[in-house]
Amino acid sequence: MGFEGLTLLGGRLCLDFCNTAAYRATAQEQEFLKGGYADLLDWCIYAGTLSEPESTRLKGQAQDHPAQAQQTFRDALKRRATLYSLFHHLAQAEAIPPEFLQELNAAQQHAMSRRQLIRQPDGTFTWTWLPCTALSDVLDPIVASASELLVEGDLSRVRQCPGCGWLFYDSSRNRSRTWCDMQFCGNRAKARRHLAKIRTQTTPSANTGPGKA
């Protein structure tokens, strides 16, 4: 599937991965990874962590081992749920359940085993990834992104949109970013407030009792 409408605005790969679902635990809940393992690969291409040839190779591997691909996809959604809960707790300045860290540590050890230092033409060093062998290896860059954010990021900048629940890293100078996107959630909230104001002005007694919007 395509990911039109799924803007990568989290500012960190791990947060963008969490944002493949929105409006969690509400009637408007949105899921962008519906198509199984192939969808996960397409998202990785979309997010820039996987090349087309590598994705094609992994898709072939998944077709040869469908049960394994299904399990990997379920594990990916579970990993996403853990990362979401972790950063949601941080954004709300709440305590982190220790099992989240245990799970992340185990995943992080695997991710590190696939990282390699290389020297670039300008003489500087950088990390690169060994080619994926297991289907689940595509999750490694996401895990690495989460570890880097936890260790090197300013955690007070991890925020959550009060509209759709998307997570983002607020890199604005005055830490003033509230919404995932002002054009989207910000304006919708503004419109709701405006509508509520009109309603209270025109029907002064209608805003009490059950059923109010």
**Smallest separation (angstroms) from Zn ion to the CB of 15:** 12
The structure tokens listed for 40 are 């996960």
Minimum Å distance from CB 164 to Zn ion? Answer: 3
Residue with tokens 């029907």: 203
Residue with Cβ nearer Zn ion (105 or 187): 187
Classified as helix, coil or strand, 136 is helix
In the complex, minimum distance from the CB of residue 192 to Zn ion, in angstroms, rounded to a whole number: 13
* Residue nearer to Zn ion on the CB measure, 115 or 192: 192
- Cβ proximity to Zn ion, 100 vs 184, nearer residue: 184
Expressed in percent and rounded to 5, the helix, strand and coil fractions of the chain are 55, 10, 35
Nearer to Zn ion, 142 or 161 (CB): 161
At 193, give phi and psi (nearest 5°). Answer: -65, -40
What is the nearest approach in angstroms of Zn ion to the Cβ of residue 25? Answer: 15
CB of 181 to Zn ion, least distance (A): 6
Cβ-based neighbour number of residue 143 at 10 Å: 24
Closest distance of CB 184 from Zn ion, Å: 6
Q: By CB under 5 A, name the binding residues for Zn ion.
A: 161, 163-164, 166, 180, 185
CA-CA distance, 143 to 78, in Å (whole number)? 13
Q: For residue 154, give the DSSP letter.
A: -
* Nearer residue to Zn ion within complex by CB, 183 or 203: 183
- For CA atoms 197, 198, 202, 208, give the dihedral sign: negative
Rounded to an integer, what distance in angstroms lies between the CA atom of residue 139 and that of residue 114? 11
Nearer to Zn ion (CB atom), residue 73 or residue 169: 169
Contact indicator for 40, 33 with CB cutoff of 8 Å: yes
